[in-house]
Amino acid sequence: MKLTSAAQEFLAYLQYEKGCSINTITNYESDLRLFGQWLRENDFALKVDSVSPTCVRQYVASLSKDGYAPATIGRRIACLKSLFSYLQMTEQVTSNPLARVAKPKEPKRLPKSLTPKQCRSLIEATQETPHPLLAVRDRTIIGTFLYAGLRRSELQALELRDVNLLTMTIHVRNGKGARDRMIPISERLHDLLAEWLEVRPEGSASVFTTQDGSELSVRGLWAMFKRVADRAEVEDVTLHMLRHTFATSLLRNGVDLVSIQRLLGRSSLDTTAVYLNVQMEGLREAVNVAPFD
């Protein structure tokens, strides 16, 4: 069986039967395409039978040699493992060549978050956006990340029906893992959203649009954020750091981990517990200034 045919069948299964998000399917498609390219470049036949444990280990070694991060290598291994699990399930192969291939260990890193001053700088920097309409939009986007902790894909998927200013809730539909969740809107975010929705151009169901009312693209969102961050003089900042800032702020203000897990839309409490390490740093600062000396 050709690997390309198996990949197409697997991706269709993810989309139509598993209901995976477009982002997940796009990432899997990219990983499978790159693996097929590696097979051709290393004289392996582009067939399912060519993928053996030895072949996969050579592939992993080449990724490591090329300087790919452990997280990237781990994701590509997981993609191939999922493909062959599907082929096993459909009885197209008898074994999974990746069953014993381990992911490289990733160094544990604390999630980085912004200081209150940096957050204020980002919001204030949106006032320098030349077009008044886009200044309101940019300020609301930054605020939605900071006050609701959305993922980038979740913010872009927000539609008008998902934002209810009367009940002060945001409905995140089909978030990571195809899970829905409701997020309460704070008073500050309510004011930002109300201002934007009042002047927002018509033409799209999306909450956040371009000046002419069309959907805001990933490239457009990143370009906007970079301009704002440059004006605010906040370096080495990413959109995902705004989500971490939201979670860290909640924890520092006494919100329990289970509630933070629900607000972030995480499937496991273990993945949320990493924020305890951030909180511990704050406690360490507190005990270091204890007046005993």
Domain boundaries, the chain: 3-89, 116-287
Q: Which two tokens stand for residue 193?
A: 């959203």
Which residue has tokens 């301009």?
227
Task: Name residues whose C-beta falls within 8 Å of residue 42's C-beta, 6 or more positions apart in sequence.
Answer: 58, 62
Tell me which amino acid residue 9 is.
E
Tell me which amino acid residue 151 is.
R
| d(C-alpha 282, C-alpha 209), whole Å | 38
Encode the chain (293 residues) as per-residue pLDDT tens digits: 899 999 999 999 998 888 887 888 899 999 999 999 999 999 999 999 889 988 988 999 999 899 888 888 989 999 999 999 999 999 998 889 888 887 777 666 666 889 999 999 999 999 998 899 999 999 999 999 999 999 998 999 999 999 999 999 999 987 665 678 888 899 999 999 999 999 999 888 999 999 999 989 889 999 999 999 999 999 989 998 999 898 888 888 877 777 788 888 876 655 555 555 555 455 444 434 444 34
For residue 291, what pLDDT is reported?
Answer: 46
Report the alpha-carbon angle 270-172-243, nearest 5. 50
For residue 287, what pLDDT is reported?
Answer: 37
> Do residues 238 and 229 lie in contact, with contact meaning Cβ atoms separated by under 8 Å?
no
> Do residues 7 and 48 lie in contact, with contact meaning Cβ atoms separated by under 8 Å?
no
CA–CA distance from 81 to each of 56, 70, 85, 172, 254 (Å)?
10, 16, 6, 29, 40
Helix (H, G, I), strand (E, B) or coil at 93: coil
Q: Which CATH number applies to 3-89?
A: 1.10.150
> Do residues 175 and 157 lie in contact, with contact meaning Cβ atoms separated by under 8 Å?
no
Other Cβ atoms less than 10 A from the Cβ of 188: the count is 12
Tell me which amino acid residue 143 is.
G
For residue 276, what pLDDT is reported?
Answer: 53
Q: Which two tokens stand for residue 234?
A: 């906040």
Was domain 116-287 assigned CATH 1.10.443.10?
A: yes
Note whether 3-89 and 116-287 share their fold. no
For residue 271, what pLDDT is reported?
Answer: 54
Which residue has tokens 């996969």?
56
